[in-house]
Structure 1
Amino acid sequence: MIKVSIAWQVFCTALWTGTALTAFGQQQVIFTTRDATIGLVTFGSTVVSGVLGDQVYIDGYIKKKGADTFIYPVGDNGAYRPFAASADQTYGAYFQADPSIAITSDPRGGNYGVLPQGGPFSTANLDKALGAVSTREYWDINGASPTKITLSWNQQSELAALVASGGLAKLTMAGWDGAKWVKISSTIDTESLLGANSTMSTGSITSTVALAPDTYNVYTLGVEAGSALPVTLISFKARAQEQTVYLEWETSQEKNSSHFDVERSRDASLWIKIGRVTSQNAISEENEGGGRYDLSDLTPAAGINYYRLKMVDLDSTFAYSQITHVELGGGDIVVYPNPVLGKIHFKGPGLNQLSKATLISATGAVIRSFNDFTAGVAVGEMASGMYLLNMSFKDGTHAARQLIISK
């Protein structure tokens, strides 16, 4: 047993099951796998909340036995974001990722490529009672027995951007019903899971009635209809033009809109601003009917580039658009089948420019590299699971594909 801290030793009194359970003492984070077979940490019925210690959490799935209310110490990518439930055998995990993409990265290298059931979960598909849902995070919570559910937030949740001028009173819980996000009746906790009064910076929210967690695929924070930023976005698209990316978007309403910041990311987590476009409403206050906009990214990176809009109001409140993405280099190569049963095959007009391919495990380890693609690449001896296929081209560009090896 790896002795990391007093919290870790206390944790070992609970029953845990799963694969690739690793402790990082300085980070005070316990990692479990999130691939096709999830690593599952199970706490017994006698274990109480706070067993791991303050701010110590599990980056992965947790199950709790017993019917006492339990605060699940879950987190992701350095973000501690617990949830609470009381039903026996309830289990879940936190994802610091846009639900529209759903896949989260692994801070140790690689990524978690297996989506929760029903994912991804488009943040554009909303029930009429919702104005918006978070593009920062969500929780995968499962169980058949009814329970009240509590979700938490902190500054990384960017709650002010979500609720905009509606304020904390318009915050609500939302669940994905298989086709869209729906509002869940909920109330702000006066004293939050995080141990202080709920504010815009930190707090928690609890459903007003007990429900079976399996009722919804995943859960997140939302804002009631009529409370979101007064910019109605019809579309936001991106497409490759040789080695640049052309972005275009259209709005149908822009009351009190100031401008749009265009942001880019390589991992849909860390974002940089690449441009600013003034809204037509800011140019002419008489124009509240929307407009068309575009911007070219002249310096995108090779591989996948993610984009989003930060829609800023005149009073500096803002909201984010749904994320879109473009892949440069390797877009004209087809890798099949997926899942892979015995061999990986390559085809497409760009195949003669492919110089090397590398298979990387979910933990970031290089498994093997190869440069002969004519007859396919045998992978039958490799362990089942999610892998990243990194492709290098003769012009110096790179592209990546996520592959599942199945037996």
Structure 2
Amino acid sequence: MVVFRTALFCLCLFLPVIAWSQAPLPLSRTDWCDPSPPAGWTDGNGNNADRCYDTGFACSGNDMGRLDNTGEYYLVAFQDTPDELTFALKDAGMGGSSQLVLEVSPDQSAWETLGTYGSCGGCTPIVNCQSISHPLDPDIRYVRWTYTKETGNVGLDDVLITNGELMPEVGFDLPSSAVIEGNVGTADHLVSITMQSPPSGPVLLQVSDALTGSASPGSDYTFAPVILTFEPNGSYPQTQSVIITIHGDGLVEGDETIDLQLDLLSGSAELVQVDHTVTILDDDVPGAWYRTINGGDWSDLAVWEVSPDQGMSWSAAGALPEVNTSAQVHVLHAVTLDDDVIIDDLLIEAGAILEIPSSVRLEIASAGAAPHCLLEGTLVDHGIGGANGWRFQSGARWQMGEAGTLIKTGNSASSEFRDHYINVPGAPDLPEGSTVIYRYTGTGLSVSSSDWSYGHLVLESDAGFYAFNSLTSRINEFGTLTIKGTLDIGGEGTGTVQVHNQKPTTTLLGDLVVRSGCTLTNAAYNGNTPHGELIISQGPGMQLEGILQYTHGTGEVRFVQPAVVEGNADHFRCYHLGIDAEVVFALHAVVTNTLEFYGGDNVITAGLSEIRLQTTVPGAILNAGPDAYVEGRLRRDVLSGISGYAFPVGQADQYAPFNLDITSTDADNILGYFDPTGSPPGTATCNAPPPGVPAGDYDYLIYAGGWQILPDGGLDHLAQLTLTPCLGMAPWYTIALDGMYDPCPTGLTVEITDFGMFDLYGADQPLPVTWVDFQAIPFQNGVRLEWSTASEQDNRYFTAEHSVDGVQFEAIGRMAAQGQDQGLRTYVFDHLAPGAGWNYYRIRQEDLDGTSSWSPIRVIAWSSPAGGWHVNHAGGLIRLVKEGPPVTVYRAMVVDLLGRQLAEGVTGTDPPTFSTAGWSTGLYHVVMNTGEGYVVIPFFNLSLHGS
């Protein structure tokens, strides 16, 4: 018997981990002697004969559960929400450390002790058959009594577990919300309350004003207590709302708050969020956003303040000043002037707009070195060309803020935006992120600046602009013209922008966009010969829908980034070049139609650069003037018939290009050089090819029979030339320009000292890689590079390269290629944590023989505004990204400079994405109402196709 009980005890120790059946509630037990326990019960107390006490000993008058050995237990499992446990015990000779432990658990993974009864030290003494009660938490589903014996036994009887009610949770959805006040009228603001599960009976709640907020009831808002009723029927979770009416009182008060509270009037429910604070955002406050009005006048939102102590304190100025005043004017809102104003100092806050009609004059009267007009927001000046608009008295200066925008419109040629109107000396005129837009209908507007740095310059006209960096009379006083951003030449009709480089250098560190019907020309000003240089260096390229025309003096036009010239009627023209003028392509130039050079001494590509003629237009040509030459790699990608490369002969004692009209199917038209001074008889020399160029691509020209120099310095067209690969092998072909084809001559009489390299790509010689697409796509942690190829021949691997300036690239990853493949292949590489600002990407492809080619360059702007928000603008989409923990975005919208809403998104923790399709070039703002407050992020949209 002892052995049997010991084995049973060991088995019982493992029973609690079994998934028990569960009984419904309410649950009671007074019968303990039945060999089969009731549903939900497990009797771990021995065999049938030893299981219970008889009726005479039981508390309830029938029988009683009995525990008489260490480890014996009773366990009950139930499936409903409990309320209370009651039971009775009886001491049957317990002594020493004997004890009965009561435990509860929601899932048997952990047990909580509710009581210890018996004779042990610290135990609750047992009063026979006295009812013992314990409340049970709603999540409890298991109750267990376990006996530890020194002497005696214990009886268990009259167990009852009653039903409990699971009270539903109810409260405000959010602890706070915000609403823009507006200047006039009223607006309704909704606050939501949600009950998560159905109640057992009707629940009445009251939402009332706690009267502890800073806003004043009646004048700032209207709200009366509301009683909400939640019934047991219906779908849950269930949300109901209350409405607060916000009053636009037109007063400058700052942000104000309303405190709401939630109270339970009747029914059973658990209140979990009983307080809610509504913040009224006073849009008369500096830095806050302004109310959106579609069209019309902004004067109803005008708030002017006057400072008597140079900005230390401010007071409302009342009506717009119409007479001369020594006050400082502080623009906090969007406002249109309705009369002339002469003031000392003007501050336009971020988010504010000041619009000056052409019939109104705003004059800054102060003079001196300090700026008297600070533009942090937007100034729209319609007064170009007349006596009105934005004017400065002599010596007055203005300064642009980091997100400031200046829009100037007009229709006359008489006005200039002069250098001495801009900044204090040494301060950048256009900080990064700022924008200047000139939009007018007329001719001859001139734009002058000593140092345009970082900002965006947008020119929109149907006639023309003159953008120059120094006035003729002050040629020695000004520095360089630098635009870090976009030079956008646009217009509805034909127009011309002339860049006058009288002194040093004009640098464009961004995109150059010339729209259809427009021309960008580098020309003389007032008869002077320009001798500066135009450098296009850092942007992703050049989008040409009109004409780029460089009329240069002794300076230089230098491209150190790819010049992508594409469109329906595109030309790239350089002509009338001076004696020392240069056009330098330091990387690739891709021309999809016609590239023309006329005159000048030098038209060159440096080192291993390329001029690439790539076209689908039959008859497209690459032309150079009489004295031009190309030194470097000239490449033709044949997409359809091309008439050839036409270069005339050159002057004596210079490398002169010429055209070889080869009709053989073995080669394309080939451009070469010769040196008339290297004509003494000798043996052909095969110099080592430059680094990275295979020997088979480094060819040289051989002339047999002696040089015959024409008066213009060119070759005698009857002379015989041979093109030989630099491999010491038999010549590929022999060329006679008189139409004869002879074998390679013997006894060479001329040493070729120098000429350029050439890639021969024709219809019967495929490219090593056919690129299909290459995209740089921003995501939350970095930039994803995706590229595809349609075919690969002898391809070894791809290398992803990154640059912060668009010039110096570094490898950031390598991927194995397919080698030989004629199918579509896609590759993906992630660049994590790119640097803030511009990030440039390209893919380098390397062949098995070590030669390389590059993909186009892609550019991504990556920034980290305050609060950890990013605006990633690529591929026609605006993506909002939040660093750190997610933040709820209740509303997000995009507005233009006139406050017109272009897009809106209502989300949760996932910020929205907006398409920029149909948006014009210019500055926009994303305005978000978030769980951390209002966020306003400016961004510049560049529409390359005039959309």
Question: TM exceeds 0.5?
Answer: no
TM superposition score normalised by structure 1: 0.44
TM superposition score normalised by structure 2: 0.22
> Which one has the largest radius of gyration?
2
Query: Which structure has the higher relative contact order (CA within 8 Å, separation 6+)?
Result: 1
